[in-house]
Structure formats: structure tokens, C-alpha cells
A and B are shown apart, each in its own frame.
Chain A
Amino acid sequence: MAEMTYRSAVTRAIRQEMLHDDRVFLIGEDVAKAGGVFKTTGGLLDEFGPGRVMDTPISEQAIIGAAMGAASAGLRPIAEIMFADFVLVTQDIVANQIAKARYMTDGQLTLPLVIRFGSGGGLRFGAQHSQSVENWMMMIPGLKVVAPSTPEDLIGLFAAAVRDPDPVMFIEHKGLLSSKGEVPDGEIVDELGKAKVVRPGRDATIVALGMMVHRALEAAEQLSGQGLEVEVIDVRSLVPLDVTTILESVRRTGCLFTVEENPRLCGWGAEIVSIAIEEAFEHIDGAPIRITTPHIPLAHAGVLEDAAIPSVDRIIETVAKQLL
């Protein structure tokens, strides 16, 4: 067991999987010699060589297309798209090709690949380098979507993603890169589609993802001082979605909140609220409430960006207003 940053966990996760399977390789812009724009891939070139750690031109369609072709031929590519926002440049290949290939060919093509990128706001990057893109991926049949919030989860879920036979969009939150957590020694392999109760509670359920997990936990800690015991669930994996764990909690607490970094419309929380209403309505005491970024692009200035993304205070106020 050792303390490690989320950033170092990314490197360790990739290294673990490259050691585990010769078919795994890393491809992306500045991932080799420069060690990654977010310094998440340092040392991999030296250890594995240019045949398995490949710098590319700024050609996102070529990166993702090459990953798809290589996966179809039996390799297990890890493709980095630096900022999550740039995934849109590849969305034809992601949404039209990769996600649909297996279905359109009735199972002839298998695409075991991982597309990983730095997501999320809070770093004053402005509207085109700060987005939470998970919903854009979640709504496309054929893509798995994973977003870890801690170093240990990152390594375990990354291993599960690389070893999964289906395409996985792997979301690393930029705002968490410097965060630290305890990580066990040795190989870590987790499971996709498992949410985690990260704080138990009886009065309400907060479901959160990525950086919002940490804010929800801090809010829960402060609410505890006001006599409210809030359960916090880290979704971790949007597809597959662990409906069982979420509904079990909601049935017990009778109260549901989601905390989402994304703009309001069509966020993943809407799906969870919808499932809860359809399947656990009789157990819910009040209207489920979604705490999201307003339906606006993110601004550069700190005061504006901070006002947009759900804060600890906003979570506390929203929960307290509903329950107290």
C-alpha cells in the first residue's frame, strides 16, 4: 500500500496492462517522447520502446481509426485523445464506426480498444478544453463508458477496460490529476459495471461521478454535522450501469440526488432518475433532484467557472433544503 497521485496511477495502469499483454500498445499525440501533455505517460517509451508507445501527428481521426483497425486485427490499442473535447473530432469513427461495427457485422468484428482522455472543468481552460463528454458517449449503443475518481479505482478500472472485449471510453478527470489516494501494491484488476458506496448513510442517496464524487463526499461530511447522514455512490461506470447498487440505496434512503458536472440537458443523472422513478417509485419520498452545471458552456474566468460547476456549498444547500 502506498500513496499515489491520480496522475501516477494513469502511468502505472498503462504500464501494468502493457506488461500483462504484448498486444497492448499506446498511441496518441505527445504520449511517447514528451510523456503526455498531462504527464501521464512518462517513462513508457523508455520501457516499452517506439514499437509499443507511438507518437502521432495531430490527426485524431487517424489515431482512432488506426486503433479500430488494429483492434479488429487482434491487437488491444490504448488510444489517447488529449482533451476530452477533441473526441468530437473523431466522433464519426467513434459513433458511426467503432460503436456499430460489431452489430452491423452481426458479431464478425470484435474491437477490444480503449480511448482515454482528460475530461472536466475547474482548471480555467475555457469552453473547449473543459467539457464533461461522458453523456455524448453514453447515449451511443456499443460504447462502454468509465470514469474513475480515485487512483486505485483508476488502475483497476483501466485494467478491466483494456481486458474487456468491447470498446471502452475511459475518462480521466483533469481536475483530479494531482489528487492522492492509497493504492495497494501489485496488480489491480477491477470490474466494469460496479458502482461503489463510498460513504454509507440512511437519509438520502447522492449519486456522483468523477470529480463530483469528492465534492459529494465533502458535502456529506458537512451535512453530517447538521444531523443528516447522506449515502454517496460513485457510479464509476456509466455503461454498463450498476442499477442494482443505486436502486438498493434509493429504496433504503427514499431520497435521490445526482451530482453531475455536465450541462443540464440529457445528463446521465436524468437516466438514473428515470430508472429510479420507473422501478422504485413506491420507495421514494420526494422528487429526485439533479444538481448539474446550468445549461451553458463553461467560462474561463474562475469566478464564472466556479459558479457553474456544482460546488460543495450548492450540494449542501440543495440537500438541506429538501430534507430539513
Chain B
Amino acid sequence: MTQTLSPTVPDTEQRLAMHRMMLEIRFFEEVWTRLFNAGKTGPGHSSIGMEAIAAAFGVQLRPGDSTYATYRGHAHTLARGVPMKGTMAELLGRGTGINGGKGGSMHLTSVEHGMMGSYAIIGAHLPIAAGTALAAKYLGKDDVTVCFFGDGTTNIGAFHEALNLAAIWDLPVVYVCENNHYMEYTPISEVTAVPRPAADRASAYGLEPIVVDGNDADAMYDVAQAAIAKARSGGGPSLIEALTYRHLGHASSDPGKYRPEDEVASWIQRDPIPAYRQRLLDAGVAEEALEAMAQESRAMAEEAATFAVDSPVPDVRNLDKNVWADGGSSWRR
């Protein structure tokens, strides 16, 4: 691991907030996976096993900051405080969903929470994130943009265009590569010229190579804190490569059988949530408090599922709404 930024240890309150956020994401994803297997929702992409990354940023971002995620964006949406109910309802294609049922799993957006969107075409959101960062600079605000993407994104042109632009203009943006070691089904190492798909490219843009254990919430908190502070103080962009693993397949219908069993088993051993729970216990947090937190998070996810299942489907009269800013879709005069 290369960690050149000075370590910042979160206080107990922040650690508990991260733990709660990880639990909420985990239970949300588990409940949603159950709904998918029961045929109640369309396909999507689970973040189970990768929760520490979204949580470490989620507890540190503030109103006005912007988050961009990929199609694997349930975690990042919840981490910005977007309500579980509206998020689950969107996944189930309900009128009560945060996108009114027009987005779905791959396009979760809640602008009021700073969740600027989940993007389903690899790489596209990196330059867009540079744009909100440019706007902050233009308007003299100290808002920060955080843009999450996968290891596969490092091999598409938009990644390089965005990093270069962010670097030459010192934009307040943090690029976070969630390296879960597989671009869809192929190991990233088989299709990338360098061992660290993001960090080994950082020098091309004058950036520090930062690699962090993405399954260690405290380590993630530390690098996130430094990168956010750097961006907020006018120090320009950062590129973080967080090493992690998705416990499930690429998408909800993928069993992930292309991965060696012992590899999967070893990463499940490194599940970020039980490890963090143990660390909190070792730090003196009461087991009952953690157990209560888990029960509350699970109950929230179940309530969100009930809400979503019971919600009405979208009104078909909304079909042609909101193509244009006037609320309609008319193309003729």
C-alpha cells in the first residue's frame, strides 16, 4: 500500500456513523437481492463487500458537495443520505421512486442530496464531474465533487480526458477508483498494461499515486479526508485507487463463476463490515450498541422494501413529462 498522506483517525462518532452507513447499505443490498430473486425488481449491480468506500466519503461530504457514481451506485446514493424508501421504490420501478420510476438502478439521482447521478456508460461521468467542480471554482464556492468509478473505467478515453482537464485546471474533484479486480467478467490485470489500473496512471496527470485498502473503513476515511480537504482548499484533484471486491457477480443475474473459489473465499474473509465491528468492539464500543445498530439498519431496509412493494407504479400520464424544462415533450410549434 502506498499512503503518502498523513493519517487521520476518525473519532468515535464518525466511526459509528461509518459503521451504520455500511450496515444500511449491506442490508439494503441484501433485501434488494432477495426481491430480485423473487422476481419483484429488474436487474442491477450490488455493492456488497465494497461498502467502506462509499461510507468513508459519505460521512465526510457536506451539503453543496456533489457525488457521481456508476451503475453500481446504490451504495453511493444511500451514503449521501438519500432515503432508503425512495431509493428502493426507484429500483422497483415505482412512482414513489427518487427518479419517478424513469431512472432505475443504473440512474439513481437525488440532486437535493448532492447525488448528481449514477451513470451507466463507462467513463462518461468523469468529465461531467469535472464540470461541477469547474462550476464550484467559477462561482467561488468551496464545494467538492467526488466521482466514483470502477477499475474497468481506467481503460476508456474519457478517464484520461477528465483527469487531464481536472489537473490542468486544479479542479476541486476527487476521483475514486473502486478496484474490485474485475471489469465485468475479465480480471482487470489481464487487460491493463500496469498493475495498478488507476494509481499507475496518476503520474501521467501530475497526481500522487494513492492506493488504499478499500475494505478498511478507517484507512478509507483517512485518504478521503485528505483528498476532500485538498480539493476544498484549492489544492486541486486527487485520484484514489481503493482495493476491494464484490461478493456477488457483476450484475444481479451473474453468479460470478469466472472467479476462483479460493479468491472469493479470501475476500469474504476480508469483508469490511465484520472487521470493522471487531475494531469498534476492541475500541470499547458496547456490543449491544452495535447489535442495536444492525437491527435498526435491517429494519429500515425491510421497511423500504415494504414501502416499495406497496407503492403504486408510475402514472402513465408521466410518460411524456420532463423531456424539456417546460415539463413536456413537444418538439413542434
Residues in A lying within 8 Å of B, measured CB to CB: 25, 51, 56-57, 59, 61-75, 77, 92-93, 96-97, 101-110, 112, 141-142, 164-166, 193-194, 239-244
Contact = CB atoms under 8 A, between A and B. Distances in A.
A191 to B, nearest CB: 9
Shortest 6 CB-CB contacts between residues of A and residues of B: A69-B131, A65-B127, A73-B135, A165-B325, A106-B100, A62-B161
B129 A69 contact: yes
A75 B138 CA distance: 9
A108 B110 contact: yes
B264 to A, nearest CB: 33
Contact of A240 (B112, B129, B145, B331): B331
Contacts of B332: 193, 240-243
30 contacts: A59-B127, A59-B161, A61-B123, A61-B157, A64-B127, A68-B128, A69-B131, A73-B131, A73-B136, A74-B139, A92-B121, A93-B127, A97-B119, A97-B121, A101-B117, A104-B99, A104-B107, A105-B102, A105-B107, A105-B111, A106-B318, A106-B321, A106-B322, A107-B322, A107-B327, A108-B110, A110-B325, A141-B331, A165-B324, A240-B333
B109 interface: yes
Nearest to B100: A106
Interface stretch (B38-46, B162-170, B183-191, B223-231): B162-170
Contacts of A66: 127-128, 130-131, 134, 165
A281 B99 CA distance: 41
A305 B109 CA distance: 47
B132 A102 contact: no
B66 interface: yes
Contacts of A165: 324-326
B92 interface: no
B331 A241 contact: yes
B121 A96 contact: yes
Contacts, number: 165
A105 B131 contact: no
Nearest to A192: B333
Interface of B: 66, 99-103, 107, 109-112, 116-117, 119, 121, 123-136, 138-139, 145, 157-158, 161-162, 164-165, 168, 318, 321-327, 329-333
A64 B111 CA distance: 20
Contact of A65 (B162, B168, B321, B322): B162
Contact of B333 (A69, A107, A194): A194
A142 B323 CA distance: 6
Contacts of B124: 61, 65, 92-93, 96-97
B66 A104 contact: no
Given A56-B165, A63-B127, 13 more contacts: A61-B124, A62-B165, A65-B126, A67-B131, A69-B133, A74-B135, A106-B101, A165-B326, A166-B324, A193-B333, A240-B330, A240-B331, A241-B332
Contacts of B325: 102, 110, 112, 164-166
B127 to A, nearest CB: 2
Given A69-B131, A102-B322, A104-B107, A62 B164 contact: yes
B161 A105 contact: no
B107 A65 contact: no
**Most A-side CB within 10 Å, residue of B101, B129, B131:** B131
A72 B114 CA distance: 11
Contact of B103 (A64, A104, A141): A104
Given A66-B134, A110-B325, A243-B332, A73 B66 contact: yes
A270 to B, nearest CB: 15
A70 B323 contact: no
Contacts of B168: 57
A242 B332 CA distance: 6
Contact of A109 (B117, B138, B164): B117
B102 A243 contact: no
Contacts of A243: 332-333
A107 B324 CA distance: 8
A70 B333 contact: no
A68 B327 contact: no
